[in-house]
Amino acid sequence: MDKLNMSRHISGKFNEELDAVRTQVMNMGGLVEQQLRDALVAIEKSDQELAQEVLQRDYKINALEVQIDEACVQIIAKRQPAASDLRLVIAIFKTIADLERIGDEAERIARVAMESFNNDQQEFLVSLENLGQQVLAMLRGVLDAFARMDLDSAFEVHQMDAQADRQYEGLTRQLMTYMMEDPRGIPKVMNVLWSARSLERIGDRCQNIAEYIIFFVKGKDVRHVSPESMARTVGRAAPDTE
């Protein structure tokens, strides 16, 4: 608890409850990360069996969200947290909602591995996998930042989303061009396009979690603020806008 710079509590039980909830969040995050990793491997190796496992495991993420949600409600009801403790509970509420949605997106991505693609379409799967690795790095980074409530790491993950967006836009243009040249491949290519969209959304969810970490540490809501304002909040130099 000290490393999170939290205030001390008269009740040691309160500290234990907060630690237990944070541990559950990390367990949920680990499962979500595994889901995304397996979905990407399933696409890379055309492993339909692994893709099916991803689809079947999604219920575990949903169950964890419900458990953590209930635990947070109990903490609020019994402990009436204030200041940084309340911010932590709010950050947890929001984080698990985004993690659950990332799990849903991983499930959608896994469905692409259930399809078969010809040689010409394989290049799109490579581009999709490259985007996936960028987003997976964001997810790993933000979960690590959450575990340590690390302001600098959260800010770095937040900045990584711009690169993911550029990769997504490039892949989208590539897919659109292919569909115009060969309309017969539209149905399968559309599945790749929707998967790319899912990865882009996962990047956005990671950005959200980074913002919740900043909110907890600094006590300031940085959603929808300018890059310059966010940089000032975390004590970093303003990003290069060129």
Give the whole-angstrom CA distance, residue 205 versus residue 199.
10
Does pLDDT of 242 surpass 50?
A: no
Greater model confidence, 125 or 6: 125
Q: Are 43 and 164 in contact (CB under 8 A)?
A: no
The CATH class, in words, for 9-234 is mainly alpha
Q: Are 239 and 163 in contact (CB under 8 A)?
A: no
Q: What is the mean pLDDT of the chain?
A: 90
| Gyration radius (Cα) of the chain, Å | 20
Does pLDDT of 183 surpass 50?
A: yes
Q: Report residue 67's pLDDT band, with 50, 70 and 90 as the boundaries.
A: very high
Average pLDDT over residues 169-184: 91
Q: What are the phi and psi torsion angles at 132 (to 5°)?
A: -60, -40
Give the whole-angstrom CA distance, residue 184 versus residue 189.
10
Does pLDDT of 5 surpass 50?
A: no
Look at residue 6 in the predicted model and tell me its pLDDT. Answer: 46
Nearest alpha-carbon partner for 32 in 128, 91, 89, 104 = 104
pTM here? Answer: 0.91
Look at residue 46 in the predicted model and tell me its pLDDT. Answer: 87
Look at residue 14 in the predicted model and tell me its pLDDT. Answer: 87
